[in-house]
């Protein structure tokens, strides 16, 4: 079974400057077939993860949907700055 939190953290860690400020949390969803993952980082790192016109965020979401195929669940990735 794939640990989606760890997979997302492993994808995002090389892209940020402050690796210690990066965290990934799974939130509950009203839909049992959906996994909500939130990436928390400082605002500069979140901007880097989202990328120009959302290109990095889109790529991260695509890679996570591939990782989640084994679980037969839909993955939603949200980026939050603190």
Helix H, strand E, coil C: the string for 4-58 is HHHHHHHHHHHHCCCHHHCEEEEECCCCCCEEEEEEEECHHHHHHHHCHHHHHHH
Rounded to 5 degrees, φ, ψ at 49 are -70, -35
Amino acid 15: pLDDT: 95
| All residues at 6 or more sequence positions from 44 whose CB lies less than 8 Å from its CB, including other chains | 17
Q: Which pLDDT score, from 0 to 100, does residue 1 have?
A: 64
The CATH architecture that domain 4-81 belongs to is 2-Layer Sandwich (3.30)
pLDDT for position 53: 96
Q: Which residues of the chain have pLDDT under 50?
A: none
């Amino acid at each position: 079974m794939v640990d989606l939190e760890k997979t997302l953290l492993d994808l995002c860690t090389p892209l940020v400057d402050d690796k210690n400020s990066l965290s990934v949390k799974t939130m509950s969803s009203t839909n049992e077939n959906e996994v909500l993952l939130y990436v928390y980082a400082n605002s500069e790192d979140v901007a880097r993860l989202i990328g120009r016109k959302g290109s990095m965020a889109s790529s991260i979401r695509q890679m996570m949907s591939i990782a989640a195929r084994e679980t037969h669940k839909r993955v939603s990735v949200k980026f939050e700055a603190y």
